[in-house]
Amino acid sequence: MFETHLPDVPQRALTGDLPAESTVEELLQAAHARYAPLGEGEVADYIPALAEADPALFGLALTEVDGTQHLAGDTSAPFTIQSISKAFVLALVLEAIGHEEVHRIVGVNNTGLPFNSVIALELNAGSPMNPMVNAGAIATTALMPGADAEQRWQGVHEGLSRFAGRSLEIDERVLRSESASNHRNRGIASLLASYERLRGDAPEMVEVYTRQCSLLVTAEDLAVMGATLADGGLNPVTGEQVVSAEVCRDTLAVLAACGMYELSGEWQFEIGLPAKSGVSGGIVAVAPGKGALGVFSPPLDRAGNSVRGQRACAHLARTLGLNLFASTTHARKGARTDG
């Protein structure tokens, strides 16, 4: 799935701050130039409106926790957020009802099965297992505070807009297309309800979830949203405290374990960053305390992840020293003397 062999890309092990701004800018532009010609992958077509995306589009954005932004390529091209919304709705729900309730109702363990698996629900007595698969995401959306579906939707919409630092709009055409083809999600919601794992009316909760997936974002938006998680919940562009630092920690832990579905282990082994992808071609990858990458490129691999996006993330994790598991050898303060 991932590009694992980068013999000409030096590994930078960096446990402190990002390099100088000029270095970050140079490396970002180099990564964009390296992968822009890549012709692998196919645009998603199981949602008809997504099949019309331009496969040549490629945007790469990095927002640092101090608000500094670096942009390369088509970073202002709009696309629907799709499953990336799961990460930020999880953060909003954690903020609203707390760590223990989310853990109890939804769970935080990887299913080891595809994102839309019904078998995973049946094997686990109706537990969604984690908020990044569709069952868990629908259950999580249903946990948003509100007296009805419309109030829950308003909470989701306003919350995701606060993460982005601007009011996000729905792509109505994509919403109609998804609503006409989301039979599996409706079945998943009904199964959740049968196990008493869903708060609210099943069809209404699927509608709210479908709306959240249809919000339009850009690669630049994703970088800002991810950088908010990287900086303890403080939006680095607007200065607004969106969620608490504790919520960011919990959200990033779930992303590290489950954000790339059954291939999350491979992503961490190769790239080493909490991340979330979406079938429209977006990826957000977060380096806590440093910033976040927002990537957009529609052609996907067979697992549904942007081909250019994952290659660019792997490249920049290596060259910018973003990998959470990389470290350097430090000089000893003093040799131990015996005797």
* 78 and 148 share one domain: no
* 208 and 222 share one domain: no
Range of the domain at 262: 21-82+215-319
* 128 and 233 share one domain: no
pLDDT for 162 equals: 98
195 is in an annotated binding site: no
pLDDT digits (tens, 9 = 90+) for 227-281: 999 999 999 999 999 999 999 999 999 999 888 877 888 899 999 999 999 999 9
261 is in an annotated binding site: yes
* 171 and 103 share one domain: yes
* 89 and 208 share one domain: yes
Domain for residue 4, yes or no?
no
* 89 and 209 share one domain: yes
pLDDT for 119 equals: 55
3-class SS string, the chain: CCCCCCCCCCCCCCCCCCCCHHHHHHHHHHHHHHHCCCCCCECCCCCHHHHHCCCCCCEEEEEECCCCEEEEECCCCCEECHHHHHHHHHHHHHHHHCHHHHHHHCCCCCCCCCCCCCHHHHHCCCCCCCCCCHHHHHHHHHCCCCCCHHHHHHHHHHHHHHHHCCCCCECHHHHHHHHHHCHHHHHHHHHHHHCCCCCCCHHHHHHHHHHHHCEEECHHHHHHHHHHHHCCCECCCCCCECCCHHHHHHHHHHHHHHCCHHHHHHHHHHCCCCEEECCCCEEEEEECCCEEEEEECCCECCCCCEHHHHHHHHHHHHHCCCCCCCCCCCCCCCCCCCC
Last residue within a domain, chosen from 168, 196, 213: 213
CATH number for the domain spanning 98: value is 3.40.710.10
Cite the active site residues.
83, 86, 209, 261, 279
279 is in an annotated binding site: yes
User: Into how many domains does the chain fold?
Assistant: 2
pLDDT band per the 50, 70, 90 thresholds, residue 106: confident
The pTM assigned to this predicted structure is 0.90
